[in-house]
Amino acid sequence: MQFHQLRYFVAVAELRHFTRAAEATHVAQPSLSQQIRSLERELGAELFHRTRGNIALTDAGAALLPLARRILADAESARLAVQETVQLRRGRVRLGAPPSLCTSLVPDVLRAYRARHPGVELVVHEDGSRDLVRILAAGELDLALIITPQAGEAPGLAVTELLYEDLVLVSAAPAKRRRARIEDLRGQPLVMFREGYDLREATLAACRAAGFEPEFAVAGGEMDAVLGFVRAGLGPAVLPGMVAARSGLTVTPFAGPGLGRVIALASGAEVPLSRAAAALHEVLLEHLAEAGRAGALPPGTRLLSPD
């Protein structure tokens, strides 16, 4: 049983005439009659009483008609759904990002994307880069913004480096000097992120490379909590430049070589992006390029040319 056979059958059933049904379906009348006979042989029952000048449904034809209409309607709905997705009137994009980027970069990008494609559903998953790499590799995300090299190797993924971003020291009190040194954190209780944050690992690594273990005033916070603890004067914290620029806190860059991180966009290397995900990739690159041209990137943040 094929869709075109059902379409011919419904046309004959509604018009009660083979020639007019053939004209309505844009097929030659002999071909239409042949397809109807083929459908009857497959079903094992006649669908029409054929008398001179009169076409009427048999009981089998009457039983098939509502089912055939439903099948054709479902097929048309499927065609329209696929067409709308291809034309970006519908669809879904699953984006992963660390919490620091969900606070800074991601909202602006999603606003720009939503303005272009309001019918596409956006799903954001916040997590650390290592977990995002794992989730992306499992096919549960379309795209992920990750931090390198903390994300480690990403086999099976296509990774494009986008931005270099300085890490800076933020505090509630005025800065004592124009630039901070890692050694200044020795003996100074810090507000520290929970385990799994790339920022926690970067801060610990820098302190240990300088020969000391950092002290914690408060540990285990998420991004919003860390910002709140710093505002309350519990201690300084090491934050990305893009987050610090929006925080309203005192920002002190580190003296060279300082601390920094590379932000990259990752996707599955073997699976082509959907139209909706490819459009988000395009909007992200356009947003960053425009921010770079307009000088809207915070100090210490610069675009990286993709390979």
Same domain, 128 and 276: yes
Show the CA angle centred on residue 94, arms to residues 92 and 96, nearest 5°. Answer: 160
Same domain, 179 and 106: yes
Same domain, 155 and 216: yes
Query: How many domains, the chain?
Result: 2
Domain termination residue (choose one: 86, 111, 128): 86
Largest Cα separation within the chain, whole Å, is 103
**CATH code for the domain in which residue 17 is found:** 1.10.10.10
**CATH code for the domain in which residue 170 is found:** 3.40.190.290
Q: Are 167 and 258 in contact (CB under 8 A)?
A: yes
Same domain, 189 and 220: yes
Q: Which domain holds residue 69?
A: 3-86
Same domain, 152 and 214: yes
Same domain, 165 and 268: yes
Distances (CA, A) of 136 to 3, 64, 124, 152, 284: 38, 46, 12, 14, 18
Q: How far apart are CA 293 and CA 267, in angstroms?
A: 26
Same domain, 82 and 104: no
- For 93-147, the pLDDT digits (tens) are 999 999 999 988 999 999 999 999 998 899 999 998 888 998 998 888 999 999 9
- For 139-186, the pLDDT digits (tens) are 889 999 999 865 555 667 889 999 999 999 999 999 888 999 999 999
Q: Which of 182, 131, 180 is nearest to 154 (CA)?
A: 131
Q: Which of 231, 95, 86, 247 is nearest to 173 (CA)?
A: 231
72-81, 107-116, 245-254, 275-284: segment of lowest average pLDDT? 72-81
- For 26-63, the pLDDT digits (tens) are 999 999 999 999 999 999 999 999 887 788 999 999 99
